[in-house]
């Protein structure tokens, strides 16, 4: 799966979780840039991403992701290992 495809799927997951229609994420965006993305929804988004891609993040991985691009890169790294 390519980086762009992962970004699109992560965008859909975040949009569904936050109930925002037509949300398009940019790799440079952080949670602070997206309305409704707080600590609670962060956990919900991470769980949804794990389910969608069939991967598991370590707690440190989740806490260390500052941007959407970092999330996509970590998904891509985990996804390609499986």
What is the predicted pLDDT for the residue at 59? 85
* pLDDT < 50 regions, the chain: none
What is the predicted pLDDT for the residue at 48? 97
Q: What is the 3-state secondary structure (H, E, C) of 34-73?
A: CCCCCHHHHHHHHHHHHHHHCCCCCHHHHHCCCCHHHHHH
What is the predicted pLDDT for the residue at 82? 54
């Amino acid at each position: 799966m390519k980086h762009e495809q992962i970004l699109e799927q992560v965008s859909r997951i975040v949009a569904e979780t936050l109930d925002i229609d037509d949300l398009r994420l940019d790799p440079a965006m952080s949670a602070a840039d997206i309305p409704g993305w707080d600590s609670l929804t962060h956990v919900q988004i991470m769980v949804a991403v794990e389910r969608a891609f069939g991967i598991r993040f370590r707690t440190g991985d989740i806490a260390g992701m500052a941007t959407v691009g970092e999330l996509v890169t970590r998904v891509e790294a985990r996804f390609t290992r499986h």
